[in-house]
Amino acid sequence: MVDTYLAAAKTEGELYTRLAFCGERFDMANLDRFYLTNREEEELSQDAVQVLKSKEKVIKHHESREAKTLKIKSKDKWLREGEAPSRYFYLQLKAKFSREITRLERDNGDTITKHREIIMEVEDYYRQLYRRGTVSDQVLQARNKVVGNLTKIINSEEDDALKATPALNEVDEVVENLRSGKSPGLDGITADSTQMLEFC
């Protein structure tokens, strides 16, 4: 279909080039006609007037065909470039599919591919993960292994310093070093507001 439009547009374009030349000649003839005196105009034969009128009709017809050609070219351009998916939309779509789980292997080794079954399996996994109850022996062993590997031990002085109320100069130093333009914390107060309140 696009090839048909292109072929028609090319033919129309060639025709328009020829007609443009004829149109220029016709315009010159019209200009000459306007400069004729009344007497010369009367002397023009009816045949010449008819020929001029017929040429004018031909040019109007070709101008309308030119408009149709431009319309076809516009449609062709829209078909080629119009709503073609851009790289941005392609990447968004690709990212969506890359985040979607299309296949899942259960604990027993079975593979599931149906969307509903995958959702049920994920729900069951997190229900088991966050259920209330006793901690399994494996988790306790892993935790004891991590804690047993800790080599840095806090002495009593460091423990007291960590538990002590912060000094005013420490608070001032922290407030001064807050980065401005950042989103507020859990209290909803921005760093800029905190710094401004400190000086009040």
The per-residue pLDDT for 176 is 85
What's the rounded Cα separation, in Å, for the pair 174 and 168? 10
Is 105 strand, coil or helix?
Answer: strand
The per-residue pLDDT for 39 is 57
What's the rounded Cα separation, in Å, for the pair 65 and 121? 65
The per-residue pLDDT for 165 is 92
The per-residue pLDDT for 44 is 59
User: Domains of the chain: which residue ranges?
Assistant: 2-81, 85-133, 165-199
If you ran DSSP here, which 8-state letter would residue 112 be given?
A: E
Closest C-alpha to 171, from 197, 150, 142: 197
Reported pTM: 0.26
The per-residue pLDDT for 112 is 92
Instruction: Determine the straight-line distance between the first and last CA of the chain, rounded to whole angstroms.
Output: 74
Ranges under pLDDT 70 in the chain: 1-48, 78-89, 93, 96-98, 134-135, 198-200
